[in-house]
Amino acid sequence: MNKPKVCHFTSAHKPDDIRIYHKECNSLAEEGYDVFLVSAYPAESLNGPVKVVHTGSKSRGRIGRMLFTTREVYKKAKSIDAEIYHFHDPELLRFGLKLKRQGKKVIYDAHEDVPRQIMAKFWIPKVFRKLISVCFEKYENYVARRLSAVVVSTPHIRERFIQIHPGTIDVCNYPLMNELMEPTSWDDKQEEICYVGGISVVRGIQELMDTLLLLSNLRLNLAGNFSNTELEEQIKSKQAWNRVEFYGYVGRKELLSIFQRSKIGMVTLLPTPNHMESLPIKMFEYMSAGIPVICSNFPLWEEIVSSNKCGVCVDPTNPEAMASSIQNLLSNPEAAKEMGKNGRMAILEKYNWGIEKKKLFNLYAEL
């Protein structure tokens, strides 16, 4: 029996998003589903079984995207006339509910705990954050309980949504097994560390630059987009910027090459409520590349790192402590190499997409 037509749609993510395209959509296509992905952005060099469609939307600011781009994405997705719709942005909740009322099976993929994330949004005046967070949570709960299912990215977010919708599952954003590479020899690398992902104040870029200034022989491989142009200009004006290799947004192959040349992977996000219970993909990708991790000393992250002996936890607000942790690893290569091996083994045994995708398959089969 042919499996049904499936349409994933997003207004905020690029079509080659690692979770949406490389993991969920490709896995479903390999399982035999007829998969479409609608994005507001054009697709480049995405040749595979997933049919990528873009809306040709104009480049807009955040408010314009929420008001207009979302509707364009919805209309394009609706025109595909799929049996199952799977959307990835909270700004699309109203359209997910519309599709459900039209008799479609609809899945909300909650990548983040958005009400807690709102509390750290720099562009929302601080005096309004609590009110907006509470109002959004009520609205998100209202829509979510009326959809067919909810997919979330961490067990912590699942604990919240399972109270609202019994059809909630966690599908963690762990690395793809087919991207596992042979780790580069420690001795073949230079004194370089890396940070990959979104670059913002709450993700610790200021503290990371201050740390770099304390270690004169160290270089930083930095990949990702800045949250805004003002921050980008500010960071690039810092004294330590001349020891940064900045790549901007990179594809999967270039990302893997960054891991190969780096001795340590940094994931020192600041302690916001959303970060403290998250499972950042960058941490697990560092582990899969066989490099030790230096991460924020949040209880959940400490449990992962200490139980797998794959890195060091540190106060992310303290550049001196971060610099000391980096220097200790660079000065003790045997210990650092052992941490890298342990992290890679943990990925092979438990933190990988091969395990997580089975949860997604089971959910789709039930729908």
The CATH number of whichever domain residue 88 belongs to comes to 3.40.50.2000
Same domain, 252 and 151: no
- Indicate the pTM of the whole model: 0.87
Which of 333, 287, 281 has the alpha carbon at shortest distance from 181? 287
pLDDT-based confidence at 353, cuts 50/70/90? very high
Q: Report the domain count for the chain.
A: 2
Same domain, 277 and 293: yes
The mean per-residue pLDDT over the stretch 243-269 comes to 93
Query: Residue 194's beta-bridge partner residues?
Result: 221, 265
Same domain, 143 and 242: no
CA distance 141 to 161: 8
CA distance 131 to 324: 40
Same domain, 191 and 293: yes
Residue 241 has pLDDT above 70, yes or no: yes
Structural domain range at position 39? 5-174+352-366
The mean per-residue pLDDT over the stretch 234-244 comes to 95
Q: What is the amino acid identity at position 220?
A: L
Residue 128 has pLDDT above 70, yes or no: yes
Same domain, 181 and 248: yes
Number of neighbours of residue 333 by Cβ within 10 angstroms: 12
Number of neighbours of residue 223 by Cβ within 10 angstroms: 20
Give residue-wise pLDDT tens across range 36-76. 999 998 877 788 899 999 998 777 777 888 888 999 999 99
pLDDT computed for residue 312 by the predictor: 98
Mean pLDDT score across all residues of the chain: 94
226's tokens: 């800045």
Same domain, 271 and 163: no
Same domain, 119 and 253: no
Alpha helices in 54-196 (DSSP H): 62-64, 70-80, 93-101, 114-118, 126-144, 155-161
Q: Kindly state the percentage of the chain with pLDDT values over 90.
A: 81
CA distance 285 to 307: 17
Same domain, 181 and 317: yes
Same domain, 216 and 143: no
Number of neighbours of residue 135 by Cβ within 10 angstroms: 12
CA distance 37 to 21: 8
Same domain, 181 and 316: yes
- Residues 337, 186 contacting (CB under 8 angstroms): yes
Q: What would you measure as the largest C-alpha separation in the chain, in angstroms?
A: 63
Query: Residue 87's beta-bridge partner residues?
Result: 9, 108
Same domain, 201 and 345: yes
Same domain, 150 and 227: no
CA distance 146 to 81: 20
